[in-house]
Amino acid sequence: MSAEAQAGVDDRFGHARRTFRTWRGQRPFWAGLLTLLGGIPIMYFPYANLTLGTMTIRMATTAGAGSLIIGALLVVLGLTMWFQYQSRVFAGVAAILLALVSLVVSNFGGFVIGFLLALIGGALGISWSAAKPQEKATAADAGVAGPDDAAPVPPIAGATYQVAGAHHDESGKSPDNGTNGRHRAG
């Protein structure tokens, strides 16, 4: 593979990585992932067979269908947090409630693994908020003088300053006399 071809592969990988990072930052990614992962053990354990040597232990319960429904709903809620992040609060509350119900229905919530993952994912979904767009920093904010930022010129003692378009006023309140409308004390 030539250096140019390698650079093209790296560029595509870097672009895909930056695109995914941007997509991930605009939604409650970790909340959705934990909720989705929490649904898998809740669905799996009631239908799994555990083999210890020559002995097979079936984990089936009478509420196997309930476990399947709870696990599938948690997976759907995790995907909802990713793709419909506007409804993240509803999905988070529903995930927490389903995680609590799974303690009773599904082998202690998938042996507590699925329960904890779904509970934390739901809490993250509720607490997530979209980042506010950053305003572009101006040169003045950064402390760097730009081309339009002229440093103020200190006043010269004894100089008369004229404001363009102002008429002459002898009341002492005109900006033409350098007082800018302030009265002198004394």
Q: What would the pLDDT profile of 54-106 be if each residue is shown by its tens digit?
A: 887 776 666 678 888 999 999 999 999 999 988 999 999 999 999 999 888 88
93 within 8 A of 74, measured Cβ to Cβ? no
Percentage of the chain modeled with pLDDT above 90: 28
C-alpha 184: how far from chain center: 56
| Rounded Cα–Cα distance for residues 143 and 135 (Å) | 16
Q: How would residue 26 be classed by pLDDT, with cut points 50, 70 and 90?
A: confident
| pLDDT score recorded for residue 39 | 92
47: closest CA among 30, 63, 28, 31?
Answer: 63
Q: What would the pLDDT profile of 146-179 be if each residue is shown by its tens digit?
A: 555 566 667 677 666 665 655 555 555 555 555 6
Which region among 87-96, 105-114, 117-126, 131-140 has the lowest average model confidence (pLDDT)?
131-140
| Rounded Cα–Cα distance for residues 77 and 180 (Å) | 64
Placement of tokens 């309140």 in the chain: 173
Q: Judge whether residue 140 has pLDDT over 90.
A: no
Placement of tokens 């250096």 in the chain: 3
Q: How would residue 51 be classed by pLDDT, with cut points 50, 70 and 90?
A: confident
pLDDT averaged over the chain? 78
| pLDDT score recorded for residue 130 | 80
Helix 113-127 / helix 29-44 crossing angle, nearest 10 deg: 160
181 within 8 A of 166, measured Cβ to Cβ? no
Rg of the chain on CA atoms, in Å: 33
**pTM of the entire structure?**
0.62
